[in-house]
Every structure is written in structure tokens, then in C-alpha cells.
Amino acid sequence: MPVKSPVMIAAWVLLLLFPACFSRHPPWLPSGTSSLHQRCYPPEELSHNQLPLHLIGVGARSARSLPATLVASLEAGSLARTRRHQRHKESRCSALQLENVYEAEVHQRSLSPWKYRINSDENRYPQKLAFAECLCKGCIDMKSGRETSSLNSVELYQRVLVLHRKPCALKGDTQVTPGAFTFEIEYINVPVGCTCVLPRSG
């Protein structure tokens, strides 16, 4: 029987391992979303409404999204000072004050300005996300600084990975177990800003 060359042996090893490489999941995701649907976590594994240990990596990825990181600055007041001084302007589409553009935030000096509101859901991680809301139906004209209907303001969206917490029943229980939850991964579209577009014809 002829001796197989090292190249042939290496080829057979790669052939055997090749399917296994593609069957693996990304390192940040647990062994599969189906396991998240099936696993019911008892109260003792969910102290202080925190995520289970093996889901912390997924939660950290969600917390790094723009809508999640904006919440801290909104609550801390870095944007609150602007809101206090221009609250009457941010509640509606107002004329653009060109002399103030150097001090204004991006969402205020845009030709399609927007404001932020905090969307809260106690059964979602992250629980709080910053949602953008357009202030104008049209857009601000550069020459006049006032709203024009020749363009439309539309929201821009970012797909954000979140975890939804749902009540579940532990093995052996016929009804939902108090304090027990399962977690489902979901992607949601979150408005993060506004831009100007041409109106749809007709």
C-alpha cells in the first residue's frame, strides 16, 4: 500500500474540518438564538434584573450602539442646556439662526433638524434608547433660513440588536414561574437622525 504524502494527509484533515468551521457561530452570539428561546432562567440567575452571564457579551454589543450611548448624555444634561434655552424652538420647526450654528449641536444645525426622546422598555436590553424625531415636514432653505416644502424631512434608521425579556415556565411547572424569564434576540429599526429628500411625485 503506497505511503500517503504529507500534502495528501493535510488535504484530508482540511476536508474533515472544513464543514465544522462554517457551522460555528460568531463569538459574540451564544450557541444559537434557538437556545435563547428555549432556556428559562430562574430568579436566582437574574439578580437585580441583570442579564445572565453568558449573555453579557451580547448585551455589551447592544450598549455600544448609537441610540444606547446617547441616553447617558441626554440624561446627564449635556444636551439639556440647549433644550432649556431653545425649548420653544425644539418643539416645532423654526427658522435656522445662522449666527448660532457654530455653537449648536448637529441635530440643530441640520437642514432637517430633529430632537431626541428617550424610549424606555423595562423588558428590553438596553432598557433605554434615544429615538430621533424630525421637527419639520419640509426642510430648511439655506437662503431664507425658513422651512420649504420643496424637500421632505425623513428619518434615518439604524438596525440595533436588542434582547427582549419574556416570562417563562421552568421545567416541571405548568404555569409561568414568578421571576423566571427567557431572552430573545431581535433587531429593531431605531430612528437616529433626519435628512432631506425630494418629495415623491404624484
pLDDT at 99: 58
Lookup: cell for 194: 433626519
- Residue 3: other Cβ atoms inside 10 A: 6
Which parts of the chain sit beneath pLDDT 70?
1-38, 48-49, 78-91, 97-102, 202
Q: Taking Cα atoms as reference points, which of 186, 154, 190, 195 lies closest to residue 67?
A: 190
pLDDT digits (tens, 9 = 90+) for 34-76: 444 468 888 888 776 678 777 888 888 889 999 999 999 899 8
pLDDT at 17: 44
pLDDT at 33: 45
Contact (Cβ atoms closer than 8 angstroms) between residue 10 and residue 17: no
pLDDT at 134: 96
pLDDT at 76: 86
pLDDT at 50: 75
Contact (Cβ atoms closer than 8 angstroms) between residue 125 and residue 97: no
The CA distances from residue 79 to 75, 76, 139, 179, 182, in Å, are 8, 8, 22, 37, 36
CA distance 114 to 116: 7
Contact (Cβ atoms closer than 8 angstroms) between residue 107 and residue 115: yes
The CA distances from residue 202 to 154, 199, in Å, are 18, 9
CA distance 69 to 78: 13
